[in-house]
Structure 1
Amino acid sequence: MKEYIKYIVLFLSVVTLLSCEQERLDPELTTAEGGGTLTTYTAYTINSTDPAGSNVYGRIVFYKTSIDQTLVQVSLYNTVPGLMHPVLILDGAIGDETSTMITLDNVSGDSGELATSKFYVISDTSFYDAITSMDSHVNIYLSTTDATIVASGNLGINAEPIESN
């Protein structure tokens, strides 16, 4: 009887192993309708202030999502490896350092991109539509311990977007 049960278990194990598909499945690359595409955006230039010859420059892009959030992407060149460069959006034009509107994530000096995520999310649903009428600018600082401004760019009423859709 023991041997009979042993053969049944062996038979079921073999059938189970042979019935499992060993074929790799192709990844599903499509998204739900309307998902995965950001088509509404406004981009501005960030220019070097070059206080010490760093020549940090790049752009800031604001994207509008399908649920009216604003995604912010900052891309910089000539950042300092090993440092984190704080990014702030301030009221007024460049030189009018009045008050901080939004503190974005830090840009990694190793990649020139936002350190935590590719996009910083602004959940205020009216933010994107107000960008072109905002009296503001963006500052990029040397590091979290050195408040030297290495790059800046006017936004809203203080500058024409370099690209928008």
Structure 2
Amino acid sequence: MNKFKYLVLTALVVLLASCDDSLENRIDITAPENAQQLFTVVPQSADQVTYKLIEADVQGIQGIITIRDAGIMGVESFMKLENTIPGIMHPVHIHEGLFGNNGDRVITLNPIDGDTGIGRTFFDKKDDGTSTDYYDLTENHEYYVGPHYSMDDMSTIIAAGNIGLNNPPIPCGPCDGKVTALSFIYEGTESARITVEQKRGGIVFDRVVSPQEQFSIDGTDRKGTLSTEIYMSIDGAQVAKIHTSCSIPIGIGYAVSDFIIVAGESRNGGPLCDLDESDIPEPCNTCDGKVTSLSLVYNGSQTVDVKVEQQRGGEIFNQSVDPGDVIQLIGQDNQQTLSSKVYIMVDGRRVEEIHTSCSQPIGPGAIFGDFEVIAGSSRNGGVLCGMP
């Protein structure tokens, strides 16, 4: 399998093994924020499809189910519903035929957690013990899924959708609105304890994984997204940082250290597409010729109304943002640059001023109150490097 190496504007975390594999005692030595990370794009041959689930007996509950060929793990089913009922586990089964025809139950899936709206299952057999695979579920037969309200109320279907032979899947799209879920394959040569920790929001995965085993992580904030960055550790040593804010391309085939992304979703873009050469950002540089774009993550503790105005050129952003949301600022003058300064207002009060003329250092890692730059570009320098 060919591997194409590229430079991406993300920091490479230096590997150091820890004598104690506990999280509390691990040794993390991080490269400077303006370092560039060497990563590879490894094309993936595994198939996957995503289907829409529409509301059924309970108004407002809808979402998706992704069926994926998970290699030695069999088939992966990933379900994510909006507006599920907190405190309730919603049972899920795959049935024969089309929804509404009362088809026989074929496969019992793990329930959907009403607190998160997420349910994930790896399987290679039907309930009767016969083998199944990705192609049986998606190309050879018709099936449907209808999550139930609860074990005590199996007659109420909260959402439903057909999968398989005659149901068109949802097309993939570029990352938009932050990543909600990622699946990785571990390419290491020995079993190891893998830990995935968010920049904000804590640990989302922590267990021993075997070579070629696949594992998955899901967003934990109130919008179901991951933090803007995640940190990958092997046996207690941090080995990589991955941007999950959508400020840098991310998709299937993204490979770093001993991990390859084999599936994923973003909040507004749906299933992530395969990466190719055109998705890879150019090498970073210092700001030159005024800023053309900035991505800011809001790190405050509560929802606020944010307005961003240019010194010249007027308002360029005005909406409510939640903690962890990413604000995109795009230059709109005849050279597609921002004004020399932009002003951030929170709940009607000016709180920050950002120099976007390149007269002062600016790039990922620059902090302005509750706002942090996570990506950007300038007219002559292209992609902005991180702050020293």
- TM-score, normalising length: structure 2: 0.31
Per-residue deviation, 1:134: 1.6
More strand by share: 2
3-state SS, counterpart of residue 163 of structure 1: coil
Larger helix proportion of the pair? 1
Is the 8 Å Cα contact of residues 44 and 59 (structure 1) preserved in structure 2? yes
Q: Distance in 2 between matches of 1:23 and 1:132?
A: 46
Distance 2:140 2:85 in 1: 33
Q: Please name the residue that 1:62 is paired with.
A: 67
1:70–1:128 contact (8 Å) kept in structure 2: yes
Rounded to whole Å, the distance in 1 between the matches of 2:159 and 2:140 is: 22
Distance 1:48 1:102, change over 3 A: same
Counterpart among 152, 161, 164 of residue 153 in structure 1: 161
1:6-48: CA deviation from partner (whole Å, max 9, x where unpaired): xxxxxxxxxxxxxx9x992559xxxxxx8xx895311111110
Aligned length: 131
Instruction: Report if aligned partners of 1:93, 1:158 keep a CA contact under 8 Å in 2.
Output: no
Q: What's the counterpart of residue 140 of structure 1?
A: 147
- The answer to whether the aligner puts 1:43 opposite 2:50 as a matched pair is yes
Q: Which one has the largest radius of gyration?
A: 1
Q: Which residue is 1:127 aligned to?
A: 133
Q: Deviations over 1:51-80 (max 9, x none)?
A: 343x21111001112337111111110100
Question: 5 Å matches for 1:1-165?
Answer: 24-26=27-29, 40-49=47-56, 51-53=57-59, 55-67=60-72, 69-114=74-119, 119-124=120-125, 126-130=132-136, 131-147=138-154, 148-163=156-171
Q: Percent of aligned positions with the same letter in both sequences?
A: 27
Structure 1: give runs of 5+ residues left out of the alignment.
1-19, 28-33
The answer to whether the Cα contact below 8 Å between 2:58 and 2:159 also exists between their aligned partners in 1 is: no
Change in 2 beyond 3 A, CA 1:123/1:110: same
Contact 2:46 2:71 in 1 (8 A): no
1:143/1:38 CA distance change after superposition, 3 Å: farther
Q: Is the 8 A contact 2:141 2:164 kept in 1?
A: yes
Conserved 8 A contact 1:137-1:154: yes
For 1:101 and 1:163, the matched residues in 2 are separated by 26
Structure having greater relative contact order (Cα 8 Å, sep ≥ 6): 1
Gaps of 5+ in 2: 1-18, 20-24, 31-41, 126-130, 173-272, 274-388
Superposition deviation, residue 126 in structure 1: 4.8
Give me the whole-angstrom Cα distance separating, in 1, the residues matched to 2:97 and 2:26.
60
Q: CA RMSD in A?
A: 2.8
Normalised to the residue count of structure 1, the TM-score between the two structures is 0.69
